[in-house]
Structure 1
Amino acid sequence: MDNFTEDFGTSTSVTIPTDYDDYLSSTDITHDFDELENTICDRRWVRQFRGYYEPPLFWMIFALGMLGNLLVVWIYTTVHNRLKTMTDMYLLNLAIADLLFLVTLPFWAIDAQSGWIFADGFCKVMSALYKINFFATMLLLTCISVDRYVAIVHVTEAHNQSKRVRLMQSKLACLVVWLASCVLAMPEFIFAKVKTDPSGPSFCTLVYWNNEQNRTKVLVLSLQICMGFCIPLLVMACCYSVIIRKLLQARNFEKHKALRVIFAVVAVFVISQLPYNAHLVVEAGQANNATMTDCDTLISFDVIGQVVKSMAYTHCCINPFLYAFIGVRFRKDLLKLLHKVTCGNLTGPTMPPKRPSIMSDTDTTPALSL
C-alpha cells in the first residue's frame, strides 16, 4: 500500500509496498527510469493532465469567487446596520471563508503547472489555510440552515428574542466554527510536506506516518468526510425538510419561490460535494485495503479525483449568488450602494415599502432568502 497521498497531485502506485521515493532510496542498485517503469505503475500522465486541466479552471474560480464574495463583504461592511440577523453574520463569515479559500487557489494552480516552487513551511501554511476554510464554509452553511429553521418554524420564539442577543449568539457560533475548523485542519499542518519527484518537479502533498493499514490516512479522510459533508448534509436535510413542510402548510402565494430556493440550496450542495466525498470514501477504502491494483484503473481513479475535486471547489464562487444575491433585501441594498457609487447620491433613492412576505427577511417576517 502506498505510504502517502497527494491531495493536490497524484497518488503513488499501490503495486509495490512503498512509494516511488522510498523505492529509490531503499535499493543499493542503480535503476534507470525505463526499468522502474516496468516495476511500478507510471502515473506521470495524471500529473500532465492536472497541469493542463487545473490551472485555467482554478484561475476562473478564483476570479468569479473573488468578485462575488468581495461584493458580499462590501455590502455588509458599507451599508449602515446591514448586520441585522444571525444569517447576516453567517453570510459575512462565509464570504470571508470563501475569500481565504480562494487565495490558496493560485498557488495550487502554480503547483499543478510548474510544481511547488515555494518553501516547505509555506506548503504547510497553504495546506492548513485551504482546509481551515473548507471546514469553515461547510460548518457555516450548517449554521445558516439551523438559523433558517428557527426563523421559519419557530418564528414566535425567534422574534421574542432581542436582536442584540441573537447577534451575540451568531458571533459566538462563528467563533466556535473558526476554532473547530483550525482544530480539524491540524492534520494538514502536520503532514503537509514538499516532496521531490525524481521524474519531475517538487510538489506539495500530505506525507502520512508509516503504520499498519495506513490508519492515519484513513482517520484523516474519515474526519474530512464526516465533518465536511455527512454532518452538514444531515443537518441541512433535517432543517429544510421541516421548513418545506411548514411552507406547504402556509397559505402564501410566495411559498413556491421559497421552495425553489430550498431545492436550489440543497441541489447545489449535493451536486458539488457528493462526487468528491464519494471519491474520498473509495480512497479511504483503498488506503485501508488495496483493491485496485490495475495500472489503468489507478490512473482513471486519479483523473476522476482531480475532476470531482474541482467540482467541489466551484461551491465557493456559487455561494454569493446562492445565499446572498437571491435575497430581496440584499439585492435592494446592492442596488442602493451601486446607485451611490455611480451617481454620488449618498442618501440613495427612496424606495417604496414592500409588503412583508416570507421571502423578504424583514425584522418582523421570517425568510428563507436573506
Structure 2
Amino acid sequence: MTFPYSDSPYNDDYNMCTHEKSKIFDQIFLSAFYSILFTAGILGNGLVILVMLLTNHRKMQSTDVFIVHLALADLLLVSTLPLWALQAIYGWIFGEALCKIAASLFKINFYAGSFLLACISIDRYLSIVYAVEIYKKHRKNYVHWSCLVVWSLCIIMSIPDILYYSVSFESRTNISTCDPFYPENNSKAWKVTTTLLFQIFIFFLPLIFMLFCYSHIIITLLRSQGFKKHKAIRLIIAVVVTFFLCWTPYNVAAFLDMLTLLEIITDCSFINNIDFALSVTSCICYLHCCLNPILYAFIGAKFKDNLCNLISKTRLCPWFVARHVQRKQTSSKSFTWSSSGDTTMSGIY
C-alpha cells in the first residue's frame, strides 16, 4: 500500500508480473515507518494546534490561522496511517465503510496540506513584498473564507474516492485490500487521470506558487536594510528545498508507475522496482507532514514564547522556560517566521 489512490497491482489484468517481494517488503517497512510517522505527526501537529488555540486564538494573524489548518490537515492525515500499516500486514480488516472514510479522509487532507502551503506562501508574499495585510479589520474574515474554500475544494476532489474505494478479496494473496475499483470500461483512463491530477494539484502548482512567492520575498529582503535577513533567507530556502525533496521522488515513481499502467513499460523487474520505489518515496511524502510543524511553527520566536507561557502555567519543564528566557534576554531581536502580525519585513523573523 502506497498512496490510497494508487491501484493495487494485483488488480491489473494486463500486468502479469508477480509482486510478492514488494508485498513482503511492505509488510516490514511500511508497518514500522508508518508507526514512527504516526507518533511524530500526532505529537508535533497536536502541539502546534494546542499552543496556537490555547495561547493565541484571539489574536492570531493570517499566517497563524493557515498554520493551524495545516497542522489539522497533517494531524488527520497521519491518523489514518495505522490503518494502512495494518493493511500491509493483515490486509484490510475494517470493513467497507471505514475503507471509504479512511481513503477519502486521507485524500482530503493531502490536498488540503498542499493547498494551505500555497496559501501561506501567498500570504507572506503579500505581507512582505507589498506590505499588505489583507486580513485586517473589516476584511479579517477573508482568511477563514480562504480556508473554507480550500477544505470545500478538497472534499469535492475526494468524491471519486468515496464512490470507487471498496474492499476486495484477492485470492492470489489470500487477503482483502482497500483500493479504488473504477468502472471496467474506462478503468485505465480513471487511473491515469487521477495520477495526473494528483501530481498537478499536490506537487506542481504548490511548488510554482512557493517558488514565485518566496523568490520575490528573498529579493525584497536582500534590498532591505537593518534586518536580520540571512536567517529569513535560509529558512525560506529550507521550506522550498524540503518540499521539493519530500515530493519529487514520489512523483517521479508515480509517473513511471503510470507508464506501466499504459503498458509503455512492461519489464517485470523494472515494474517490481517501481513497487519498491512507490513504498519508500510515499513514506518520504508522509515525512513532510512531520516536518511542517518545525518549518512553520517551532522555529518562530512567537510560537516559542507561547509554548513557554503554556509550559510555565502548567509548571512543566522549568529548565526549558528558563533557557528560553535567557536566550531571549541575550538576543536583541527575535527570529519570528511564523508571525505575520505586521506588514514589514519583521513579519517573517
Instruction: Give TM-score scaled by structure 2 length.
Output: 0.89
Letter aligned with residue 9 of structure 2: S
Partner of 1:29: none
- Kept in 2, the 8 Å contact 1:123–1:193? The answer is yes
Partner of 2:9: 11
Letter aligned with residue 195 of structure 1: S
More off after superposition, 313-322 vs 250-259: 250-259
1:111 lines up with 2:109 in the alignment: no
1:77 pairs, out of 53, 62, 75, with 53
1:248 lines up with 2:248 in the alignment: no
- Kept in 2, the 8 Å contact 1:66–1:99? The answer is yes
Partner of 1:24: none
| Aligned partner of residue 178 in structure 2, secondary structure | strand
1:334 lines up with 2:320 in the alignment: no
Structure 1 alignment gaps of length 5 or more: 20-39
Letter aligned with residue 248 of structure 2: L
Partner of 1:184: 157
Change (3 A) 1:238 1:336: same
Letter aligned with residue 12 of structure 1: Y
2:106 pairs, out of 110, 130, 134, with 130
* Structure with the larger RCO, 1 or 2 (CA within 8 Å, 6+ apart): 2
More off after superposition, 268-277 vs 334-343: 334-343
Change (3 A) 1:363 1:302: closer
- Kept in 1, the 8 Å contact 2:247–2:285? The answer is yes
Cα distance in 2 between the residues matched to 1:165 and 1:336: 30
Considering only aligned residues, what root-mean-square deviation do their CA atoms show, in Å? Answer: 2.7
Cα distance in 2 between the residues matched to 1:184 and 1:332: 38
Cα distance in 2 between the residues matched to 1:344 and 1:47: 44
Q: Aligned-pair distance for 1:286?
A: 3.0
Letter aligned with residue 29 of structure 2: Y
Cα distance in 1 between the residues matched to 2:187 and 2:37: 36
Residue deviations 1:273-312, cap 9 Å, x none?
A: 111112222223332x312222211111111111111110
Partner of 1:270: 244
Change (3 A) 1:9 1:284: closer
The residue correspondences of 1:299-338 to structure 2 (distance < 5 A) are 299-338=272-311
Partner of 1:218: 192
* Count of residue pairs the alignment pairs up: 338
Change (3 A) 1:174 1:256: same
1:297 pairs, out of 252, 256, 270, with 270
| Aligned partner of residue 252 in structure 1, secondary structure | coil
| Aligned partner of residue 363 in structure 1, secondary structure | coil
Partner of 1:150: 126
- Kept in 2, the 8 Å contact 1:153–1:242? The answer is yes
- Kept in 1, the 8 Å contact 2:108–2:155? The answer is yes
Q: Aligned-pair distance for 1:250?
A: 1.1
Change (3 A) 1:369 1:66: farther
Q: Aligned-pair distance for 1:180?
A: 0.5
| Aligned partner of residue 70 in structure 1, secondary structure | helix
2:255 pairs, out of 278, 281, 286, with 281
Q: Aligned-pair distance for 1:218?
A: 1.1
Partner of 2:203: 229
Cα distance in 2 between the residues matched to 1:201 and 1:141: 37
Letter aligned with residue 101 of structure 1: L
- Kept in 2, the 8 Å contact 1:153–1:243? The answer is yes
- Kept in 1, the 8 Å contact 2:26–2:279? The answer is yes
Cα distance in 2 between the residues matched to 1:343 and 1:66: 20
Change (3 A) 1:325 1:195: same
Identity, % of aligned positions? 33
Q: Aligned-pair distance for 1:44?
A: 1.7
1:55 lines up with 2:31 in the alignment: yes
Cα distance in 2 between the residues matched to 1:116 and 1:343: 41
Structure 2 alignment gaps of length 5 or more: none
Partner of 2:177: 203
| Aligned partner of residue 129 in structure 1, secondary structure | helix
Partner of 1:26: none
Partner of 2:97: 121
Letter aligned with residue 244 of structure 1: I
